[in-house]
């Protein structure tokens, strides 16, 4: 039976959850979850948001928009490829210029659809290097800087329900996202003695223009049908949960993977 699509709720105003904090976001330009996190962090009072992305033009356009709306002193951007350690360190250097990273949001990921029977080593390695190893590089770099400052910071990773549930053509992405979940739990255990919390979100389906470009309308309709609300999440609905995990409202949570999904209903 086709589910009737429920309307998305009204956009929520900020409540100062990240007041005076410096937030770093990877893959933050464009129109997806990363960009929604950047906007939400600024609305929640972040002192500065440092944004990395591999797409130079898109990053410049996003920077201009955010700086115009929130003030140039609160937004810093740098081209960042998370497969390169020097890029990750340079992004965090920007955060050091405004007091150092308080919140690290690891959003960078790479997908693709191909049967495991036809998947090449290059396709497998490319997805794992960005989605899993890239997240590892960022968690390690941010964690080291937080420890050096004696600072109880927060790290939030972006996983996926595909890390829990099989989906055709997604072996590389599923393995990477399952790895992000395991990395989150292990990093939380390693960092706990330093007061650093590490959690992750696991979205099911969040709608944005890039997804529409790489997915057929028929498959999107099928995916929406799996959701109890009959619709995809808005990127800001996922960002809201990431901001919650970054805030003091989740002060006793670490090593957790929070499902942002209506599939269980």
pLDDT (tens digit, 9 = 90+) per residue, 103-125? 999 999 999 999 999 999 999 99
pLDDT in tens, 214-242: 566 766 666 666 777 777 778 999 999 99
Whole-number Å distance between alpha carbons of 86 and 111: 23
Whole-number Å distance between alpha carbons of 101 and 196: 12
- The CA-CA-CA angle for residues 253, 265, 163, to 5°, reads 55
Beta-carbon contacts of residue 41 (< 8 Å; ≥ 6 apart): 18, 23, 25, 49, 103, 105, 243, 246
Reading the block at residue 102, the tokens are 């308080």
Partners of 24 in the β-ladder: 50, 104
**Taking Cα atoms as reference points, which of 45, 22, 40 lies closest to residue 145?**
22
pLDDT in tens, 60-101: 999 999 999 999 999 999 999 999 999 999 999 999 999 999
Bigger pLDDT: 237 vs 205: 237
CA distances from 244 to 40, 129, 155, 239 (A): 11, 28, 12, 9
- The CA-CA-CA angle for residues 99, 103, 109, to 5°, reads 125
Would you say residue 180 has pLDDT above 80? yes
In the chain, DSSP finds a helix count (H) and a strand count (E) of 9, 7
Whole-number Å distance between alpha carbons of 8 and 264: 18
Tell me the catalytic residues.
Answer: 173
pLDDT in tens, 130-178: 999 999 999 999 999 999 999 899 999 999 999 998 889 999 999 999 9
How much is the average pLDDT of 177-197?
Answer: 98
CA distances from 36 to 119, 186, 210, 252 (A): 32, 27, 14, 25
How much is the average pLDDT of 195-213?
Answer: 80
**Per-residue confidence (pLDDT) for residue 210, from 0 to 100:** 58
**Per-residue confidence (pLDDT) for residue 214, from 0 to 100:** 55
């Amino acid at each position: 039976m086709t589910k009737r699509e429920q309307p998305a709720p009204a956009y929520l105003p900020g409540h100062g959850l990240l007041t005076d904090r410096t937030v770093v976001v990877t893959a933050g330009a464009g129109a997806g979850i990363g960009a929604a996190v950047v906007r939400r962090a600024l609305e929640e009072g972040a002192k500065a948001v440092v944004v990395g992305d591999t797409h130079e033009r898109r990053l410049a356009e996003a920077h201009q928009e955010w700086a115009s709306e929130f003030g140039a002193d609160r937004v810093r951007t740098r081209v960042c490829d998370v497969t390169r350690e020097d890029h990750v360190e340079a992004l965090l250097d920007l955060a050091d210029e405004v007091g150092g990273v308080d919140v690290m949001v690891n959003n960078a990921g790479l997908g693709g659809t191909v049967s495991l029977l036809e998947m090449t080593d290059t396709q497998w390695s490319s997805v794992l290097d960005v989605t899993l190893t890239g997240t590892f590089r960022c968690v390690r770099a941010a964690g080291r800087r937080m420890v050096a400052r004696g600072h109880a910071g927060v790290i939030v990773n972006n996983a996926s329900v595909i890390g829990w549930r099989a989906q055709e053509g997604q072996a590389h992405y599923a393995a990477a996202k399952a790895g992000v979940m395991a990395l989150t739990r292990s990093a939380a255990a390693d960092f706990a003695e330093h007061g650093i919390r590490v959690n992750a979100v696991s979205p099911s389906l969040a709608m944005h223009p890039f997804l529409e470009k790489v997915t057929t309308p028929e498959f999107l309709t099928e995916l929406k049908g799996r959701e109890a609300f009959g619709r995809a999440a808005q990127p800001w609905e996922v960002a809201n949960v990431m901001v919650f995990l970054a805030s003091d409202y989740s002060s006793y949570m670490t090593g957790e993977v929070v499902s942002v999904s209506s599939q269980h209903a």
